[in-house]
Amino acid sequence: YWYHATGPQYVEKILSSPHSVMYLVAHNPSISYAASYFSGEMIQMETCSCVHLHWPIANSWDEIIKGSAMVNFIH
C-alpha cells in the first residue's frame, strides 16, 4: 500500500494509524505532499532527506489538521 500510495493516501493512512509515533521511509512525490500538507509549508524532499514533524498540542491523530505540524528539522 505505502509504496504506490499517492500523497492524499499517505495522509489518510497516517491519520488512521493506531501508533502515536511514526517513522516513514518513503518515495516522492507522496512524502513531500504529506510533509507539506501537515506542516502548511512547501517541503520538497530530496533524495535521502528527512523531515521531523511535531504536533506539540495534539494527543491523537484525530486532533491533527492540515498545516498544524511544527517542522523541527529538514536534512
Give residue 40's pLDDT.
Answer: 97
Domain of 43, in residue numbers: 7-74
Give residue 4's pLDDT.
Answer: 85
Give residue 35's pLDDT.
Answer: 96
Per the CB < 8 A criterion, the answer to whether 7 and 30 are in contact is yes
Number of structural domains the chain divides into: 1
Give residue 27's pLDDT.
Answer: 84
Give residue 26's pLDDT.
Answer: 85
Q: Is residue 1 part of a domain?
A: no
Distance set, CA 29 to CA 10, 54, 57 (Å):
11, 21, 28
Mean pLDDT by 10 residues, the chain (75 residues): 87 90 88 96 93 90 92 95
pTM exceeding 0.85: yes
Q: Which residue type does 45 have? A: M
